[in-house]
Amino acid sequence: MSERASQESRKPLLAAIEAGGTKFVCAVGYDPFEPLREHRFPTRDPETTMAEAAEFFKQAIADFGEISSMAVGAFGPVDVRPDSEGYGSILTTPKPGWKGTNLIKELRSRIGDSFTVHVDTDVNAAAVGEALYGAARGKRHVAYITVGTGVGGGVLYDGKPLLGILHPEIGHMSVPDLEGSGSGSISVCPFHECCLEGKASGPAIQSRWGTPGYELPDHHEAWNLEAAYLAHAAVNLTATWAPEIIVFGGGVLQKPGLLEKIREKFSELAGGYWELPDLEEYIQMAELDQKAGIVGTLTLASRMTS
């Protein structure tokens, strides 16, 4: 029996792109948690990258049938307002060639317009994945922070990605300069002198200490400083938005003991002001790891068919 013939109950075929700053993940499936097929490849220039994504979906259509809906979870900032003329466009970004690229138009020109396309951020999509299948299961108001090559954050309000004039940019939240001003203070953000990404991302750790974070021992002073920056972000989110849970993910959070240090510093900064759940419940580690983004993006696509 062919793959197309095995489609169960004529369920709508969902398509998703997790368009990250370092890699793209394309997927199709009927169930968001169980993709039928995935393809991962490095993020290069827009022309090469979008062409490779389009070829994946053309082959998927040939094998499984027409796509019902597609969602894209993109690196930001990106225009995620459906009523905007620039909906789907990458905005200010240091990635060469990507500023002004309209993801929806790029896909339509290569695959066609027989299905709807929804665009959100990659971190909002990951937050959706964690809320449905991961650490934030059962929660409606969720903050998700991932720390790796950059720092990104997704926010869910009543189970849906928060959207105002733009999407949240937790990675560019201002934080105190905990190193003190002067030549010893490090920031790797090209836009801000003292934002969370500039101070706490993987490249910031390497720039500050001269070695990648994964090579630093668990007891190194780097991890107390890293925890302090991330705890400031968690306290700011609690003070301004009061989520039910804050979930941390990304490669930097794989360092043993770092999450516990964040909780300890959070407790110190909070000063007993808020009545919160136990911090082991309130501040948690992501459970889906590399699957959160694509699972969440497929879920966003599924919501367009219901």
Alpha-carbon gap, residue 158 to 155, rounded angstroms: 10
pTM above 0.75, yes or no: yes
- Under 8 Å between Cβ of 71 and 125: yes
The H or E element containing residue 155 is strand 151-157
Which pLDDT belongs to residue 1?
35
Q: Inter-axis angle of helices 202-209 and 222-240, to 10 degrees? A: 140
Strand 160-161 and strand 151-157: the pairing is antiparallel
| pLDDT tens by residue, the chain, 306 residues | 345 545 554 689 999 999 998 999 999 999 999 999 999 999 999 999 999 999 999 999 999 999 999 999 999 899 999 999 999 999 988 788 999 999 999 999 999 999 999 999 999 999 999 999 999 999 999 999 999 999 999 999 999 999 888 899 999 999 999 986 555 678 999 999 999 999 999 999 999 999 999 999 999 999 999 999 999 999 999 999 999 999 999 999 999 999 999 999 999 999 999 999 999 999 999 999 889 999 999 999 999 876
Which pLDDT belongs to residue 185?
79
Classified by CATH at the fold level, domain 8-122+291-303 comes out as Nucleotidyltransferase; domain 5 (3.30.420)
- Under 8 Å between Cβ of 118 and 106: no
Contacts of 299 (CB under 8 A, 6+ apart): 32, 125, 128, 129, 132
Which pLDDT belongs to residue 74?
97
**Residue 102 β-bridge partners:** 89
Which pLDDT belongs to residue 306?
61
Backbone φ and ψ of 276, nearest 5°: -115, 165
Q: Measured between alpha carbons, how far is residue 170 from residues 44, 47, 65, 124, 205 in Å?
A: 25, 29, 39, 11, 18
- Under 8 Å between Cβ of 121 and 144: no
Classified by CATH at the fold level, domain 135-286 comes out as Nucleotidyltransferase; domain 5 (3.30.420)
Q: Measured between alpha carbons, how far is residue 267 from residues 98, 141, 218, 274 in Å?
A: 40, 21, 21, 10
Q: Which two tokens stand for residue 4?
A: 């197309």
- Under 8 Å between Cβ of 124 and 145: no
Which pLDDT belongs to residue 11?
85
Range list for CATH 3.30.420.40 in the chain: 8-122+291-303, 135-286
